[in-house]
Amino acid sequence: MGQTALTATMIAAVLKTHKTTIMRRAEKESWPFIESTGRGGKAKKFILFGLPTDIQLLYNKELQQPCHVETGESSPPPLALAPSPAAPLPIVIMPGLTTKQSAIAAGRYDLVTLYLREKEAARKKKQKIGSAVKDFVAYYNTGIPYPQLFKLLGAVAAQTLEKWRHTLRINNMQMDAIAPRHGDHRRGRRMVTETEMSHLLLHALHPARRRISECIRWAKKSIASEGHYSPSSPATMRRALLDYQNTHYDRWIFCREGEKALEDKVLPYLERDDSHIQVGDVLVADGHKLNFHVRNPYNGKEVRATLLVFFDWRSRYPAGWHIMMQENIQCVHAALRRAILNLGDIPRMVMLDNGKAFKARIFTGETRNIDLETSGIDGLYKRLGIQIYFAKPYNAKSKPVERWFGTFNELERLLPSYTGNSIEDKPAHMHRNERLHKRLHNPWVPDVNQADAIIAAWAYDEYAKRPHRGLKGAAPRDIWNAGKGPGITPESLRFLMMTATVKKVNRNGVTLFGTHFYDESLYGYKYPVIVRHDILDLSEVYVYSEDDSEFICTARPVRGVHPVARISDNPLDLQAVKEGLKMQKTLKRDTETFARARVTGKLPWEFPESAVSCDELPMTPAQIADIEEQAAQTEVIFLDEKKPEIPTCDSDVYELLLQKKAAGNELAAGEVSWMRDFEASPFYKSIAPYFHEFERRLAEANQ
């Protein structure tokens, strides 16, 4: 049988490498070859049985023709190698060993088992054991029969296998006897000197929070400047610092980041059980700078207002809030008033922030240095029976409402005036040179009332209906409705918790947000007054004396009249003009009556009891003619004195029209249109139950 000869190209295909690599190895290892002459000239062909064992085995595997690599005889018995397992067995971590050491020990044990099995098979077949061992090791080192073991252990020699076998035998076949032990004598220790470590910590545990690379660089410089030698490499020093960080994290954080970071990141925290409190037991108050613009009611400018929220801890429900342009104690009262009305009860405790609005003396009952706008209501919370607790400064985890503000951001992103919750989060139209986005941006900015309605719709119709993880899947609204109080009358809170503002009295009363509020009691009054109001309901305001000792009146908005009443289709316009003229003349008559009595020496309060009052004194012919002349210019028709007095505000007009409708009288087109507009107003919606009850009583009376 002729000798098999292979070209370098054929061998490269078997080994899956390049021809040049084969030629270099053949020259280095002096492979036997023969030269053949062909069309391309002379070429080397290497004799198969003179090639290294691994190449012979791979070549025979390719041809599926096993042969004995030492003698070259054809058809020798094949190697009795066991098949490679399909998947590795799970590694059992042995005591005192790492995961990697346990895996290597198990792999060595398996390889020794295969090695002994191959020797036993050769002994039974009466083959040369040395040749069988050599073939086994050569075939294993190709990585083909046992790829997983080869990947874990790499190439081995027959002497290494015999050494592992001997070690197992003398150790009663204990697997951990052949585990690698490199570095066991210094495990857990770094070869970093005490001098190096002290200099490293000097730079690392610094409030400047220097980078580790900087700490290593400056530590080596400072060690060298002291005349010492630093033997450790930068990589070793880095590992030493990381080890210190992981074993002394409290010191690392406190020295580098401070006390608050230590509390937030390292110290254990108390786990609260909310089941111990009920709805209304604790309201948590905090402010949030809105991430969208609203229109300032005081000057009309676009601003980022502050949303002040009173949050029920037990139900995770926003009980009440107020949108304020600046941090003001009266805004806190307005938000609490709204929360109490929604809760239907007085809360047991209110947890407040440490902001200047919350820290005002009004909450603690001290009366020194209180501003005029908060005078008369010092110690409000104590009078209501509410305990006050001020949260720890800069401790967000003590206030559950902070998490709600994060959820609230989803509503903020829906508004066109959204500004982003950080510099990186700004919308595209707010960046420079974004001309297209600026043109496409919707410039609409809500006013305070619109923003309040939007927040209410989201909070009550969207957020409150969602299952809450902190409530074990229950919705905040369900827990809130099940636990809130029976109800509380607004009158008990109205004059205590409304926004108070000092105003001057002018001819048309007091002015708030560009609107005049007037009552006849303010006629001739020139002292400053305290005006209490709810910014979300300006249907009426309450006027007190400057020292807050006397209630003067309830003032209502002054409604503008039709400039030319005779062309109006609404008869109420004519009535409004007539009523305005009548009020003017009545007030003027009071002044003239006083002056007449003063001139004659007879003051009104000196009249006998049988005399008529100032209101009942008859008008002079000149006064009657003056009123008739002014009314004729606007075509005002004087009503019969027996008819009821014309209403002076929208609610009175609406009640009059309800009475007319209940009596069976047909309403004019203008009256129907006016009623429809009034019913769509926020004021009507705020007191709609009152009108419904009034209409029901009218229906019962007419039956």
Per-residue pLDDT reduced to its tens digit, 636-678: 443 333 444 444 456 777 878 888 888 878 888 778 888 888 8
pLDDT at residue 507, as a whole number: 87
Considering the entire predicted model, what is its pTM?
0.46
Q: Is residue 412's pLDDT more than 50?
A: yes
Q: Is residue 443's pLDDT more than 60?
A: yes
Region 108-121: mean pLDDT is: 88
Residues 251 and 284 in one domain: no
Gap between the Cα atoms of 307 and 322, Å rounded: 6
CATH, residue 28: 1.10.10.10
Q: Is residue 490's pLDDT more than 50?
A: yes
Side chain identity at residue 145, one-letter code: P
**b/e string for 60-97 if b means 16 or more Cβ within 10 A?**
beeeeeebbbeebeeebeebbbeeeeeeeeeeeebeeb
pLDDT at residue 393, as a whole number: 62
Gap between the Cα atoms of 593 and 611, Å rounded: 14
pLDDT at residue 91, as a whole number: 57
Q: Is residue 88's pLDDT more than 70?
A: no
pLDDT at residue 577, as a whole number: 77
Confidence of residue 270 (pLDDT cuts 50, 70, 90): confident
Of the residues 126, 148, 181, the one at which a domain ends? 181
Confidence of residue 203 (pLDDT cuts 50, 70, 90): very high
Digit-coded pLDDT (tens) for 596-611: 765 555 444 444 444 4
Most confident of 3-12, 503-512, 600-609: 503-512
pLDDT at residue 398, as a whole number: 60
Residues 255 and 379 in one domain: no
Estimate to the nearest angstrom the gap between the alpha carbon of 253 and the chain centroid. 25
Residues 325 and 355 in one domain: yes
Of the residues 128, 156, 181, the one at which a domain ends? 181
Say if 93 falls within a structural domain: no
pLDDT at residue 644, as a whole number: 43
Region 8-23: mean pLDDT is: 84
Residues 310 and 389 in one domain: yes
Say if 212 falls within a structural domain: yes
CATH, residue 441: 3.30.420.10
Residues 172 and 25 in one domain: no
For the chain, what is the domain count?
6
Quote the tokens at residue 179.
Answer: 């585990």
pLDDT at residue 364, as a whole number: 47
Say if 293 falls within a structural domain: yes
Say if 207 falls within a structural domain: yes
Confidence of residue 164 (pLDDT cuts 50, 70, 90): very high
Q: Is residue 84's pLDDT more than 50?
A: no
Say if 613 falls within a structural domain: no
| DSSP 8-state secondary structure symbol assigned to residue 2 | P
pLDDT at residue 94, as a whole number: 67
Q: How many Cβ atoms from other residues are within 10 Å of residue 546's Cβ?
A: 13
pLDDT at residue 207, as a whole number: 93
Say if 632 falls within a structural domain: no
Say if 638 falls within a structural domain: no
Residues 317 and 350 in one domain: yes
Confidence of residue 687 (pLDDT cuts 50, 70, 90): confident
> Which residue's structure tokens are 């299952």?
467
Residues 214 and 156 in one domain: no
Mean pLDDT of the chain: 78
Most confident of 180-184, 348-352, 366-370, 433-437: 433-437
Q: Give the residue from 477, 536, 534 showing the smallest Cα distance to 318.
A: 477
Which range among 24-33, 266-275, 489-498 shows the weakest confidence by mean pLDDT? 489-498
Q: Give the residue from 123, 151, 153, 119 showing the smallest Cα distance to 134.
A: 119
* Residue 410 CB-half CA count within 13 A: 7
End-to-end CA distance of the chain, in Å? 129
Q: 11-16 long-range CB contacts below 8 Å, 24 or more apart? A: 11/46, 11/51, 11/55, 11/59, 14/55, 14/58, 14/59, 14/62, 15/55, 15/58
The fraction of the chain above a pLDDT of 90, given in percent, is 19
pLDDT at residue 592, as a whole number: 77
pLDDT at residue 589, as a whole number: 81
Domain that holds residue 256: 193-265
pLDDT at residue 336, as a whole number: 86
Residues 24 and 49 in one domain: yes
Q: How many Cβ atoms from other residues are within 10 Å of residue 494's Cβ?
A: 13
Gap between the Cα atoms of 125 and 36, Å rounded: 41
Digit-coded pLDDT (tens) for 584-595: 888 888 787 777
| DSSP 8-state secondary structure symbol assigned to residue 557 | E
Region 54-72: mean pLDDT is: 55
Helix (H) or strand (E) holding 159: helix 158-170
| DSSP 8-state secondary structure symbol assigned to residue 487 | -
pLDDT at residue 85, as a whole number: 44
Gap between the Cα atoms of 532 and 497, Å rounded: 9
Say if 592 falls within a structural domain: no
- Sign, CA torsion 484/485/490/495: negative
Residues 451 and 509 in one domain: no
Q: Give the residue from 327, 336, 370, 320 showing the smallest Cα distance to 496.
A: 336
Residues 349 and 385 in one domain: yes
CATH, residue 520: 2.30.30
Quote the tokens at residue 137.
Answer: 């090791």
Which range among 59-73, 197-211, 323-337, 485-499 shows the weakest confidence by mean pLDDT? 59-73
Residues 201 and 168 in one domain: no
Residues 537 and 672 in one domain: no
Digit-coded pLDDT (tens) for 540-564: 888 988 887 788 898 989 887 777 6
Region 250-264: mean pLDDT is: 91
Of the residues 265, 296, 316, the one at which a domain ends? 265
Strands 5-6 and 282-289: unpaired
Q: Specify burial of residue 497 (Cβ count, 10 A radius: 0-12, 13-18, 19+).
A: buried
**b/e string for 281-313 if b means 16 or more Cβ within 10 A?**
ebbbbbbbebbbbbbebeeeeeeebbbbbbbbb
Higher pLDDT: 525 or 629? It is: 525
Digit-coded pLDDT (tens) for 122-158: 888 888 888 888 888 888 888 888 888 888 898 999 9
pLDDT at residue 406, as a whole number: 87
